Structure 1
Amino acid sequence: MTDMLRWDTTRLYSSPDSPQLDRDFRKATTEAQAFRERYQGKVATLDAAGLLEALTSYEQLQETAVLPQLYGHLLFASDSEADSNKALMQRGMEFGNSLSCEVMFFDLELMAIPEADFAPLAADERLANYRHHLGAIRRFQPHALPEKEEQLLTQKNLTGIQAFAKLFDELTASLSYRMELDGEERDFTGEELISLLHHPEAAVRERALTVFLNGHAEQGIVLSTVFNTVALDHSQEMQLRSYSDPMQPTNLGNELSMEAVEHLMSVTEANFPLAQEYFRIKAKLLGMKRLKNTDVYAPVGECHKTYSFDQAKQLVLDSYSSFNPDYAPLIEGFFTERRIDVEPRQGKSGGAFCMGLTPKLPPYLLLNFTGNLRDVATLAHESGHGLHYLRSQEQTMVNYHAPLPLAETASVFGEMLLTSRMLAQETDREVKISLLCATIEDIIATTFRQVVLTRFEQRLHLERKDGLLSSDRLCTIWWEENAKLFGDSVEMIEAYRWGWSYISHFIHTRFYCYAYTFAELLVLSLYARYQETGPSFVPAFDSVLRSGGSRSPADTAALAGIDINDPGFWQKGYDMLGGLIAELKQQL
């Protein structure tokens, strides 16, 4: 049975020493060299037919090159302690770095085409499928450097930012924690300790988070060095590329203005009192004067209820199938084809993710399932990511991945489907209260908390420009930003000062976190539209998933009748949250 809970990657390669791996690495290298020889210095001379041929060749190269790299990522995520996995992961990083240097001329030459020449080229119907992709590349033209400088930056990343990210992953995956539970002292993984935040006993919750964060504090020298290095590297690159703000490259990639992102976060912060109101309600439900931050996810109602993985799987399948029967077999494939890794274990990456490979290959899911309600929701969430990747497989390689603001659309919508189904089926008032609390907490975590994380990250990058940040300073920034959310409704435990130290988004993807807020509020609007229109909404939602990254966030949302430029758009989501809190009050 254990084998069925671990993914099977042999459909990609038979093993880390498969001869096919070597062949694919060599094939991609040969294709990259041939692409450079054919097109370097000639991109600006291509007509529409020639550019279409070049883009098609570029996508084929990417298809070949990405598979061995992502295979290495999957093996490393499932077991970062195996030397063979480490070696393949490193080989993939070095190979990807070299390949990027070989073909980066293509984007740079596309950027350099004068607008007067580019506009009629992009308007040609033969390039319609690539129009958005080409525009996305050209947005970065003011910040591009000459090719040799771009190559040097990319090459140095291997021993710089990428090396520190790999160190962070290996260190955090290797940590083990010793704690007493139910009269027995034993070793825990980090995921097992985090899952205890859903334990019915307050003392256990506080002890679990304290042990987990103290374990990170013991690695404070390494972790603070990693965070400082990430911020310094980003700062230096921003200077080289003449960006005005640390968030600017992320916002450009997301096709959102600085003003739009700031408005999103400001509206969120203005609604912090909603979260504080909920925290006070939950304190009463738990019989406490005031919550500690270790109590935020404490179970309410049927606090001892746990779910087997088979139960969780069926709940998720039923939820998606009730919305669109076509979705169930797609999600079922993760289980029948063993493209999901379920159990927590030493050396395995923490958290959960879905990895999309290419439009021609199915995605893989990683979980750390411990049986609580949050884990069921996580399965629904990651299954939504997988569904999104599968539906966008009608796109070609450059349009396969949805932009960050839309990357969470199917996943968060799937959680809403799960919650609504469970609420509709439940007749017990106490269980309904528990489900409502879980839903509200999830929205708080996916909107308010993500803005707190983004504000921390902003301060990390802005303050690091003035000098090295000590562990104490990082802890203080984290404490201050979280205090704005909690106000006087929640008491933070002392160990929570180190809450910044395990969040991998800060290391791997600059300013990713506000995309969760964007997606959650978008999904609340999408779900409200579904409630209003019923089954007729399904094709519109499916068109959002199928579009992948072929449109801007605004144009993609418009497919479902949503205008993200409406000045009141973000507040509508928080009004819906307020409605859920009011519904909870009626149940009390």
Structure 2
Amino acid sequence: MTDTVLRDANAPSGNKNLGDLPEWDLSDLYAGEDAPELQRDLDWLQTACAEFAADYEGKLDTLDAAGLLDCLHRDEAISRTAGRIMSFAGLRYYQLTTDGGRAKFLSDCQEKVTNYTTPLVFFSLELNRLDEGALKAMYAENADLARYAPVIRRIRAMKPHQLSDELEKFLHDLGVVGDAWERLFDETIAGLTFTVDGEEMGIEGTLNLLTEQDRDQREAAARELARVFGENIRTFSRVHNTAAKEKEVIDRWRNMPTPQTGRHLSNDVEAEVVEALRDAVVAAYPKLSHRYYELKRKWLGLDRMQVWDRNAPLPMEETRIVGWDDARATVMNAYAAFDPRMADLAQPFFEKGWIDAGVKQGKAPGAFAHPTVTDVHPYVMLNYLGKPRDVMTLAHELGHGVHQVLAAEQGELLSSTPLTLAETASVFGEMLTFRRMLDGAKDKAERKVLLAGKVEDMINTVVRQIAFYDFECKLHDARREGELTPDDINALWMSVQATSLGPAFDFMDGYETFWAYIPHFVHSPFYVYAYAFGDGLVNALYAVYEENPEGFQEKYFEMLKAGGSKHHKDLLAPFGLDASDPAFWDKGLGIISDMIDELEAMED
């Protein structure tokens, strides 16, 4: 999955008065579990993997340019078929994670695909042993092969961390065990029930109450979340301990210098660039989150902010529910105003069953856009409750979808964008939607509400995610020293909360367990900094667009079409931007600070 918004799981209901919410039609992948095409593809995959190994294992260094190109094409076809199978099984599971049949089907597919593809482990290992000079000579000889140079470069970046062929196969087979711990986390989260004011609901609906106007209701929801998390904290602690230990063992065998190194390599980003981002954000806490929450404390008329006030609506904000049709029109108009091609690319998502929007019992948490494979199309999942923030989530996930459709032209191996760049189109889509809404504000009060909402979203995307990143860094470092008790993990969580949120806050008993529900820590360690990276990058990009709109759209579309075929330096160069320059991050953070300046000026 490409993206998950940090509001997790499901409520029993909540689709009333929102209009006709779309559901997925997964038949573009397969008609069902027993579809003959699915069995055909599984059989083909088993044979194709065995034949690939027979044809190439031990022989990669004997191939000429044409032979290596053919080898890559065959690998791409295998990836496409395996991806189609796993996309179908995964998406069906996410629609109803509490269904035993769907969980079994996903697990069975994972095991089959893992078993079939184990013979392919040699491929990346042998690719890493090829002589660099010989590779460059083949690129010079064959332009079609040279197109794959970026993906080969990324594979070869793992060369210093490569184990023996036998150990690599062992780790490949062992992957299904890690997957089972992730599923335990998902099923535990999806199965939690909370009772607030006599109404039983899932976690999505309960977290949604933290954005209600009624403060007593927000407090009740926060305390109920803390109670349920506390009752399940041993399970969450066990999952985190096991996942972190598994990672530590693999990292140690691979001689990874830090727990974060593997994520940086997969993101194709240098550690110093991430640290420059992290340091810039932490240094900016006082002028961003601390300053904004002090303003919000005054608006709310409070002596002290409590954690259930963090995402509270402003007193002057009307409680309004945005119907699905209005949300669609808002986002589509913003996309079309930027470039009609963007709206054209987004249109089929609404009309062809590519979005699953409703909140349903047992449905997976949050929101994401999953690219599936390059010869099908992406699918977007939402838990749409009609809040203005849900409109921004729609804009965000559609941005991913548009990006994935455009990048699909690169083919299976080159379409996948590193996480740091994968957030570009999504956050840009949000910014387009926000700017259009801001331009349409009727008066100063509405402008203030919109600006404050955007600042809060950016703080959640930048400040909060870097605090999450720091928490993960501390968690993985501590786990290397031994087993962590729930209290140990709680203490690590609290060590980053006050620093990032600022002096306006008090923290209730029980808030120390709120690390438990965030899926990224389990599914994708250190994923979270990609959100801050994407937000900072888009702020800088949008500043370029405002300063010099002429020709921007063409350059923007070319960037999205590139998928994973270019490094971030090459992608940003046409815009005159460079993420390795520390001043780059200050430029992005300055946009948030400027918005807070405007909000402060409104107080005068």
The interval holding the TM-score normalised by the smaller chain is over 0.9
- Cα shift at 1:100: 3.5
Worse overlay, 197-206 or 211-220: 211-220
Contact 1:400 1:549 in 2 (8 A): yes
Amino acid across the alignment from 1:284: K
Match of 1:285 in 2: 299
Aligned position for 2:528: 513
Q: How does 1:312-323 map to 2 (within 5 A)?
A: 312-323=327-338
Name the counterpart of 2:309: 295
Distance 1:522 1:116 in 2: 35
SS in 1 for 2:199: strand
Does structure 2 retain, via aligned residues, the 8 Å contact 1:197–1:208?
A: yes
SS at match of 1:255: coil
Which region of structure 1 is more displaced relative to structure 2, 536-545 or 124-133?
A: 124-133
Shift of 1:2: 8.5
Q: CA deviation at 1:3?
A: 7.7
AA of the residue aligned to 1:273: P
Match of 1:251 in 2: 264
Q: Does 1:431 align with 2:449?
A: no
Q: In structure 2, how many angstroms separate the alpha carbons of the residues matched to 1:524 and 1:435?
A: 17
**Residues 41 and 109, structure 1, Cα contact 8 Å, conserved in 2:** yes
Q: Which amino acid aligns with 1:295?
A: D
Equivalent position of 2:13 in the other structure: none
For 1:4 and 1:438, how far apart are their aligned partners in 2?
25
Q: Please, which of 440, 447, 460 is the counterpart of residue 475 of structure 2?
A: 460
Deviations 1:296-329 (A, max 9, x none): 2111232312201111111111111110101112
| Inter-partner Cα distance in structure 2 for 1:298 and 1:46 | 62
Structure 2 distance, partners of 1:349, 1:52, is 39
1:255 Cα offset (Å): 2.3
Partner of 1:66: 83
Is 1:530–1:537's contact at 8 Å kept on the other side of the alignment? Answer: yes
Residue 154 of structure 1, aligned match among 166, 172, 191: 172
Q: How does 1:181-330 map to 2 (within 5 A)?
A: 185-274=198-287, 275-300=289-314, 301-330=316-345
2:293·2:502 contact (CA, 8 Å) conserved in 1?
no
| Cα 1:123/1:195, change in 2 over 3 Å | farther
Query: 1:536 deviation in Å?
Result: 2.0
In the alignment, is residue 571 of structure 1 matched against residue 589 of structure 2? no
Q: Which amino acid aligns with 2:245?
A: L
Cα distance in 2 for partners of 1:349, 1:445 equals 21
Work out whether 1:356 is the aligned partner of 2:371. yes
Q: CA deviation at 1:130?
A: 0.3
Distance 1:123 1:95, change over 3 A: farther
1:411 and 2:429 are equivalent in the alignment: no
The aligned residue for residue 45 of structure 2 is 28
Q: 1:382 aligns to what?
A: 397
CA distance in 2, matches of 1:373, 1:278: 20
Q: Answer yes or no: is 1:528 the counterpart of 2:543.
A: yes
Long gaps (5+) in structure 1: none
Gaps of 5+ in 2: 1-17
1:14 matched residue in structure 2: 31
Alpha-carbon distance in structure 2 between the residues aligned to 1:277 and 1:587? 14
Query: Which stretch of structure 1 is more off in the superposition, 26-35 or 90-99?
Result: 90-99
Q: What whole-Å deviation, never above 9, does each CA across 1:264-291 have from its counterpart, x for those lacking one?
A: 1011100000210000011111111232
Cα distance in 2 for partners of 1:414, 1:266 equals 26
Preserved contact between residue 227 and residue 510 of structure 2 (Cα < 8 Å): yes
Provide, for residues 134-192 of structure 1, a one-character-per-residue CA deviation record: whole Å limited to 9, x for no partner.
Answer: 11111100101111111111212222x11101111111111121111xxxx11112111
Query: 1:74 is matched by which residue type in structure 2?
Result: L
Name the SS of the counterpart of 1:354 in structure 2. strand
Aligned-residue Cα RMSD (Å) equals 1.4
The Cα offsets for residues 20-50 of structure 1, whole Å up to 9 and x where unpaired, read as 2211111111111111111111111111111
| 8 Å contact kept, 1:280–1:290 | no
Count of equivalent residues: 583
Q: Distance in 2 between matches of 1:210 and 1:432?
A: 33
**Structure 1 position 495, deviation (Å):** 2.1
The answer to whether the 8 Å contact 1:358/1:400 transfers is: no
Give the conservation status (yes or no) of the 8 Å contact 2:396–2:429. Answer: yes
Q: Is the 8 A contact 1:359 1:393 kept in 2?
A: yes
| Matched residue type, 2:449 | S
Post-superposition Cα deviations, 1:397-443, rounded to whole Å, max 9, x if no partner, equal 11111111101000000111111000100122222111101110111
After TM superposition, list the pairs within 5 Å mapping 1:359-374 onto structure 2. Answer: 359-374=374-389
Q: Distance in 1 between matches of 2:227 and 2:548?
A: 50
Q: Deviations over 1:528-572 (max 9, x none)?
A: 111111252111111111000011122112243321122311111
Which residue is equivalent to 2:600? 585
**Alpha-carbon deviation of 1:114?**
2.4
Shift in Å, 1:294: 1.6
Q: What amino acid does structure 2 have at the position aligned with 1:579?
A: D
Q: Are 2:553 and 1:538 aligned?
A: yes
In the superposition, the TM-score normalised over structure 2's length comes to: 0.94
SS of aligned partner of 1:502: coil
Which residue of structure 2 lines up, in the alignment, with residue 53 of structure 1?
A: 70
Match of 2:10 in 1: none
User: Does 1:141 pair with 2:159?
Assistant: yes
AA partner of residue 146 (structure 1): S
Tell whether the 8 Å contact from 1:309 to 1:371 is kept in structure 2 after alignment. yes
Match for residue 166 of structure 1? Answer: 183
2:125 aligned with 1:108, yes or no?
Answer: yes
Residue of structure 1 in register with 2:508 after alignment: 493
Aligned mate of 1:471, from 466, 475, 486:
486
Q: CA deviation at 1:99?
A: 3.4
- 1:399 aligned counterpart, secondary structure: coil
- Report 1:84-123 matches (<5 A): 84-123=101-140
Structure 1 runs of 4+ aligned residues shifted over 4 Å read 1-4
Letter in 1 for 2:36: P
Bigger mean CA deviation after superposition, 560-569 or 113-122: 113-122
Structure 1, residues 100-125: CA drift from partner, whole Å, max 9, x if none?
31211111100011233233234442
The residue identity in structure 1 corresponding to 2:382 is L
1:394 paired with 2:409, answer yes
Residues 199-232 of structure 1 show CA distances to partners (whole Å, capped at 9, x for unaligned) of 0012211221221232222111111000000000
* 1:178 aligned counterpart, secondary structure: strand
Relative contact order higher in (CA < 8 Å, ≥ 6 apart): 2
Secondary structure at the counterpart of residue 361 of structure 2: coil
